Amino acid sequence: MTPRILAGALALALPLIVAASPDPAESAASAAPAADCALPGRTGWTDEGHDTDRKQFLQPLGTKHVLMLFVDFPDAPATGDPGDYYDELAPAADWMRQDSYGRTRLDITPLDRWLHMPQASTSYGFQRGITFEQHEAYVRQAVEAAGPDVDFSRYDLLYVVPTSSASAITFSPTYLYDPAAPGIVAGGTRIKWAVTFGQDRYRWGPKVADHETSHIFGLPDLYAFDGTGTHRHVGGWDLMGLISGPSPQHLGWERWKFGWIDDRQVACLPTAGSRTVRLHAIERPGGTKIAVIRTGETTAYVAESRRAVSGDASACSTGVLVYRVDTAAPTGSGPVRVVNGNPADTPPAGCTPLDMAAFRPGQSFTDPATGVRIDVVRSGSLSDTITLTKSTVTTSG
């Protein structure tokens, strides 16, 4: 596998884990197993597929031990106390715990001293054209600066935080090791995963750590890499798109991929037919979380219930979010595309048209090309009832 660089996008209440109880609306004997709607990845890298290579990418369950290193440079000496930098990023752990229903926890340990890098900050190539080799050298030098007294075997991944005066360290890419290369070894421990933070963290805040760590777990970027309409695919509906968006909690599909949602919380319609589903808001644990209509080997439509609570408290619209997943689409090329159910709505300040996308009772989505129809029947305070229909598509000629 050719190594690639993964780049980041231009006090929370912690819920208890609640077992999902069967929903009467989901008890039909004819319901298909969730596995029939799981899609394989086809990119060989980060994608929305369910068969993520857990040798290349870290398993996103349980406690992940993170070592935070603080670095400065000959041309950008340290400013401030390392503890202040830690405090700025530490809320990422609360966010991850909430977002995962407590199934993933980041245990972040700071090495409370400045480490001195041997090169000028301007020499590492921190720009969109940075190479894997340049990035690996940066991580290696930070590890070497930490010295032999640090036991790296105790940690799953690293966070490398530069001094604020290092303006040349512009953005926050993720380091994913190349299993076929010698890589970085410290005290007999292979350094596999790291997030190297840049100046953009002052724009995105601590959630940039959650975004980048999600790459280490195997997720692609959902914003567009071509520079035109950067957030045209998902708007502010997912952390892997616009980090500072109004509804940034992970999509239900990604929660299923990560194991934060169980198979029994997935309603699947893989072939022609119809079923009614009561969806429970993804922001709260428990209940059926997503309804999936499979449309091909690597494609599906997904519906989930979104509410203005928890990490999505600033949501611009609430109701049923519908989106198309394509696990053959590479990172930055729209592997997830949200359907706008209200294109005529005028978004309020701080919202974009796509942030108004959630469907309300009485509304429906249809895709004649795939025979898919999703009707929103009714809504509760933290739930939506929908009917899924998949018709057989016939072609003429």
CB burial string 238-256: b at 16+ within 10 A, e below: bbbbbbebbbbbbbbbbbb
- pLDDT tens string 152-170: 999 999 999 999 999 999 9
Q: What is the pLDDT of residue 4?
A: 58
Residue 396: per-residue pLDDT: 53
Question: Residue 194, by phi and psi: left (phi above 0), alpha (psi -120 to 50) or beta?
Answer: beta
Say yes or no to pLDDT of 30 above 60.
no
- Name residues whose C-beta falls within 8 Å of residue 303's C-beta, 6 or more positions apart in sequence: 277, 279, 290, 291, 320, 321, 322, 374, 386, 388
Q: Where are the domains of the chain?
A: 26-51+230-390, 62-216
Q: Which of 19-23, 257-261, 285-289, 311-315 has the lowest mean pLDDT?
A: 19-23
Structure tokens that stand for 372 in this block:
């898919």
The pLDDT, as a whole number, for residue 271 is 96
- Can you tell me the mean pLDDT for 55-81? 97
310-357: pLDDT as tens digits: 999 999 999 999 999 999 999 999 999 999 999 999 999 999 999 999
- pLDDT band at residue 52 under the 50/70/90 scheme: very high
